[in-house]
Structure formats: C-alpha cells, structure tokens
A and B are shown apart, each in its own frame.
Chain A
Amino acid sequence: MTPDTDTGPRHYLNAEYGFRSWLLTTDHKRIALLYLASVTVMFALGGLFAIAVRLELLTPAGDVMQAETYNKMFTMHGIAMVFFFLIPAVPAVLGNFLIPLMIGARDLAFPRINLLSWYIFVLGALFSLYAMIAGGVDTGWTFYTPYSTAWSNTNVVPTAVGIFITGFSSILTGLNFMATIHRMRAPGLTWFRLPLFVWAHYATSIIMILGTPVLAITIVLVALDRVGGFGIFDPAVGGDPVLFQHLFWFYSHPAVYIMILPSMGVISELVACFARKRVFGYDFVAFSSLAIALVGFLVWGHHMFVSGQSVYAALVFSVLSFLVAIPSAVKVFNWTATLYKGRITFETPMIYVFGFVGLFTIGGLTGLFLAALGLDVHVHDTYFIVAHFHYIMVGGVIMGYLGGLHFWWPKITGRMYPEWWGRISAFVIFIGFNLTFFPQFVLGYLGMPRRYHAYPEEFQVLNVMSTAGASILGVGYLIPLVYMIWSMRYGTPAPANPWGARGLEWETPSPPPTHNFPGVPVVTTEAYDYSAQEATRV
C-alpha cells in the first residue's frame, strides 16, 4: 500500500493539495501538522539561545558576551521554550490530532476556531520574534516588576504583547477540547471508558481556561505601568511589586501542569500498549489528572518564598505544594504497577516511557525538596532550581512528547520511522540530558546562582560537563528531526495498527481519511482492553 499516489486510498494528506488547502484547512489533523511545524521552529529558536548560554558558561569569566547580552539570551531561551514550545507542543500537535479520533468524532467541536488558534499562535510568535530581533528582552521570562515596568530598556512590551496574543491560542485550544470531550463522544463512550490521554487533556484544558486569562490581565497591567506610568506595581505610589508575582505565578505555576499533564497522558497510552496490559488503577489515574489541575492552582506562592511574602502565607503554600506531589506520585506508581506481569517490549516509544518515569521522578522529588521552606531559602535562584525544572520540562515533557510522536507517527504519516535510529537517538537524548542537568543540581547545591554570566573558578568542571552534555543532547534532537522527515517519503508504509494497540484511533487507516471514520463508531468496552488472545501486532 503506497498512500501517497493518486491511485491509492484518499486520506487527509492527499485529499487536497496546495498552500490554500493547508492554510485554510479546518481538518484537525492538518492543523496538528501546522502546529508541529511551528512549535519545531520555536524549539529550534529556544535551542539556539540555549547554545549561547551554555557557550558562555564554559568558562568562569564572562568573556563570550556582555552581561546584558547574556541576560537577553536566558530570557529569550525561557520565553521561546515555555510559551512557544512547552505549553502548545503536546496539546496542539498530539491532542489536536488524536482527541477526535480517540473519541470517535469527525473533528473537534469548533474546527474554524482550531485554525484561528493556530494563526493566533503564529501571530504571537512573530511579535515576540520581532522583539527578539529588534534588540531582545532581558527581564528573565518571569518579567518581575519593577525592573520590567520601570527600569529595563529592552523590548518588554512587544514581547509581552506576543505572549498575550499567544495566550488566546492556548485558551481557544482548551475551550475546543473541553467542549469536544463533553459533547462529541461516540455512543457508548462514557467518561470512564475514555483513554487516559483524553482525561489528561481535559484536565489541561481546565487549567488553560482558568489560568491563562490571569496572565493576560497581568501583562495588560505591566504594559499600563510601563507605557502609561500607571504605578500599579510602583512603590512610590504605594504599589507592590510582589503583587505582580502573585498574579504572574497564579498562572505560571499551573502552566507547568499544562506542560506536564498532556505528556503524562501520552505515557499512560504508551505504557499500556508496550506492556500489553490495561493501565493499573484507571480511575485513580483519571482523577489524579483532575487533582493536579485543581491543587496546582493552590501552590503558586512557593515561587515567592524569598520575595518578601508573609511567612504564614509561605507556610500554607508549602504544605499545599507537598500535597500536589501526591497525585503525580499516584500516576508513577500506577504506571509501574502496569508493568508488573505485563509482556514488555522495548520499542522506541517504550524507551521514552522509561526515560520519562525515571527523570520525572527525580524532577518531582527535587520539587518536594523545594517545597520545604528551609531548603528553598538556600537554593532559590541557584542552579538547583534550574536543574529541577529541566528534569520535569525536558526529562518529563519532552520525553513524553517524543515518545508520543514516535508512537503515533505511523498513524499521522502512514509511515514507520526507522526503529533502530529511534532507539539510538532515545539513548543519546537520555545520556545527553543527564550529563547536562545532573551537574546543575550539584552546582546549585554548592551555591552557584542562576542568571549570572560569570561564576567562581571552582564551578568550572561541572559547567563544562553540563555544556558537553548539552552538545550531546542537541545531537540527540537532530537525529529524529532528520529520520522523521526522511521517513515521510522513504519510511515503510504503515498498517492501520502497527503496534497492536487498543483505541479508536487504531481502528481507522494510517493515515486516516479526512472524516476519520466511515460511520459512527460504537464503543462497548473499557479502555486498554488488552488480552492475551486479541493483542497481536500486525
């Protein structure tokens, strides 16, 4: 079967050709690919800034660039990665593609709004890109006041406007997912028969809806202060800079759950398939997604332990931050229990699963260290924090994203990626990642501050290790980029269900036809209905 000739079956990729058919599409699958291209570009951009940072940190002296330039590098690395890659990647690429398929629908609830959300994403990215090219921004991705409102003379407002615009993309995606999951499930597909990927995206949508608007208004206030001199965060008229932090982190902490939850959803799907077993404790995993979304909104003050926040408020946020680890731990335990007495195989997606579970566990446990007031006071604003969040963001989110991309690649493109290259690059990424970021835990614990372009001599060895690791990690990311593009033309054509997986998305051809399903699927079984007789690889 050669899906890309005119004599073969029609599917969403060859249904129509030409720029207009892509740029004016309302097909959720094509929109997912539009997002894939965009977020990959932004990831590359963020990677370039990371190279600049790691290059400077090879030597203790600030000899590669000025301090001001370095400030711009880490700021723009953070902005590109957080707002333009980590938040949209899994939901807008995998979520968009898979949610209608997984629930037996023909599209999302609002296909035109889906396309609009992509255009809004691109518009926001262009704004921020313009700001970066026109001189950059140096406030840190966190834009703390009063530096961002009163003192920085870099392109704060254009960058903030770009992020404001992109926030709407996030809101519209969450809105679409929520309405879709509520109203468009196939007959027989009750809530507790949904794949856990869908539960994860539902919980993510809750956070997008409730959190992003607060970031939006905070950006408006920063702009009013900076451009109009309103004084909302200006101590001279009684304003409190820490109030900015409350508003900012009210969104930005839940934002990290927007980043990790969809990836966790991916892991649930992968673990069930490659252990050939239903996910242990389905109900608990489903509810844990909701619990993370809810409790995740109650912990933001743990970013402000040394900002001048009241100690009593800090105590409350500390306790709540310990609590929020529990639902995440529930997931890790349940994925592990799923492996017990499973028939495990180690295809590329499964390697990413193991990578995720190990690295996310380390990231999560170090998060507990940071929830403890006594310890956080010492390691706040050091590399310990940087290591902690990179273990979650890269070791967690990106591992899940890559695992999912490989797992569903046959469905998305109708082609298999080269399996051995997949496994090799997964290992290269794992090794490169640990070499980059584990030394940073040590550095932070020893006291090296973050956001400094120079450091004391005694930290150089660990920094060199970190930069070496980053080079390996970079290579690790390039390899899949190459072979996945290669596979779109030369990869082995994929059957409908190459992994012998369960789920409605596997019951339609690879790639799916534009309307996903010929009729209306009817669901009669639980999710992950793997049993010895039925679970065979094609």
Chain B
Amino acid sequence: MSDHVVPLRVYYLIFAALMALTTVTVAVAYLDLGLLNTWVAMTIAVLKATMVVLYFMHVRWSSRLVPVLIVAGLVWMVILIALTMSDYVSRAWLGTPGG
C-alpha cells in the first residue's frame, strides 16, 4: 500500500453516511416488512461495512490482492453457514431416524 493520504473531508463524508445508515436501519426495524426486515438490515450493514473497508481501511488504494483476501474470507464463511444449513433445512424432508 503506497502512502496515499486520504483528505479528511472524505472521512467526514463517510462518517456522516454511516450515521445516516444507522438511523435508517433503526427506523426500518420498526416497519413491518415481514421477511424483508432482515434482508434490509443486512444489506444496510453490508453497505456500511463496505464503506469502512474501502475508505477507512484504505482498500480503495491498496494492492488488488486485498479485496481477493476479503472476498475469500467471506466466501468461506458462507460455505460454513450454507453447507451446515443444508443439513438443518433438509432434515425434515425424509424423516431420518430419530427425527
């Protein structure tokens, strides 16, 4: 990572955006969107995280290897969750012995 100095202005903007999104998250939580509630909350969280990663953590100006690493970590976490859930979701389908 080269010594790229990010102007403070950018940091203030990102901070403001993060605050705004936090407010939105809380507000939306009080609306009845059914199943969408969780998805909206997670989408907003992902957006906030992305802003922190790109700007506060300077990934925007870092080696291209870094996003690859981050995505790999996230994909592996998804593998853990998805394949584990494949067991729980499908247990009832065929009635395994003992439930």
Contacts and interface: CB of A to CB of B under 8 A. Distances in A.
Interface size class of B (residues with CB under 8 A): 20 to 34
B98 interface: yes
Nearest to A311: B94
A503 interface: no
Interface string A276-301: 00000000000000000000011011
B83 A313 contact: yes
Given A182-B65, A210-B73, A310 B79 contact: no
Contacts of A210: 72-73, 76
A312 B91 CA distance: 8
A301 B83 contact: yes
A312 B86 contact: yes
Contacts of B88: 310
Given A297-B79, A298-B79, A309 B87 contact: yes
A214 B80 contact: yes
B2 interface: no
Nearest to A210: B76
A119 B55 CA distance: 36
A100 B85 CA distance: 42
A316 interface: yes
Contacts, number: 50
A312 B90 contact: yes
A310 B83 contact: no
Contacts of B89: 310
A31 B79 CA distance: 35
B30 interface: no
B93 interface: yes
B92 to A, nearest CB: 8
A310 B80 contact: no
Nearest to A240: B88
A243 B72 CA distance: 23
Contacts of A301: 83, 87
A372 to B, nearest CB: 18
A308 interface: yes
Given A182-B65, A308-B98, A313 B73 contact: no
A313 B87 contact: yes
A232 B40 CA distance: 28
A250 B80 contact: yes
A101 to B, nearest CB: 24
B26 to A, nearest CB: 29
A310 B96 contact: yes
Interface size class of A (residues with CB under 8 A): 20 to 34
Nearest to A315: B90
A419 to B, nearest CB: 44
Nearest to A251: B80
A300 B84 CA distance: 10
Contacts of A214: 80
A11 interface: no
Interface residues of chain B: helix, strand, loop or mixed (majority): helix
Interface in A311-358: 311-313, 316-317
A247 B88 CA distance: 13
A310 B86 contact: yes
A515 interface: no
Contact of A297 (B73, B76, B86, B93): B76
B22 to A, nearest CB: 27
B79 A308 contact: no
Contacts of B80: 214, 247, 250
B93 to A, nearest CB: 6
A310 B90 contact: yes
Contacts of A313: 83, 86-87, 90
Interface in A196-255: 210, 214, 242-243, 246-247, 250
Interface string B31-49: 0000000000000000000
B62 to A, nearest CB: 13
Looking at A214, A242, A247, A311, the one whose CB has the most chain B CB atoms below 10 A away is A311
A310 B93 contact: yes
A121 B99 CA distance: 42
Looking at B79, B89, B94, the one whose CB has the most chain A CB atoms below 10 A away is B79
A210 B73 CA distance: 7
A426 to B, nearest CB: 39
A300 B87 CA distance: 12
Contact of A316 (B86, B91, B98): B86
B84 A243 contact: yes
Contacts of A309: 87, 91, 96
A176 to B, nearest CB: 15
Contacts of B86: 310, 312-313, 316
B83 A312 contact: no
Given A214-B80, A298-B79, A316-B86, A310 B73 contact: no
B65 A310 contact: no
Given A210-B72, A308-B98, A246 B79 contact: no
Contacts of A311: 90, 94, 96
A182 B66 CA distance: 12
19 contacts: A214-B80, A242-B87, A243-B84, A246-B84, A250-B84, A308-B96, A308-B98, A308-B99, A309-B87, A309-B91, A310-B91, A310-B93, A310-B94, A312-B93, A312-B94, A313-B86, A313-B90, A316-B83, A316-B86
Interface of A: 182, 210, 214, 242-243, 246-247, 250, 297-298, 300-301, 308-313, 316-317
Given A182-B65, A308-B96, 20 more contacts: A210-B72, A242-B87, A246-B87, A250-B84, A297-B76, A298-B83, A308-B97, A309-B87, A310-B86, A310-B87, A310-B89, A310-B90, A310-B93, A312-B86, A312-B90, A313-B83, A313-B86, A313-B90, A316-B83, A317-B83
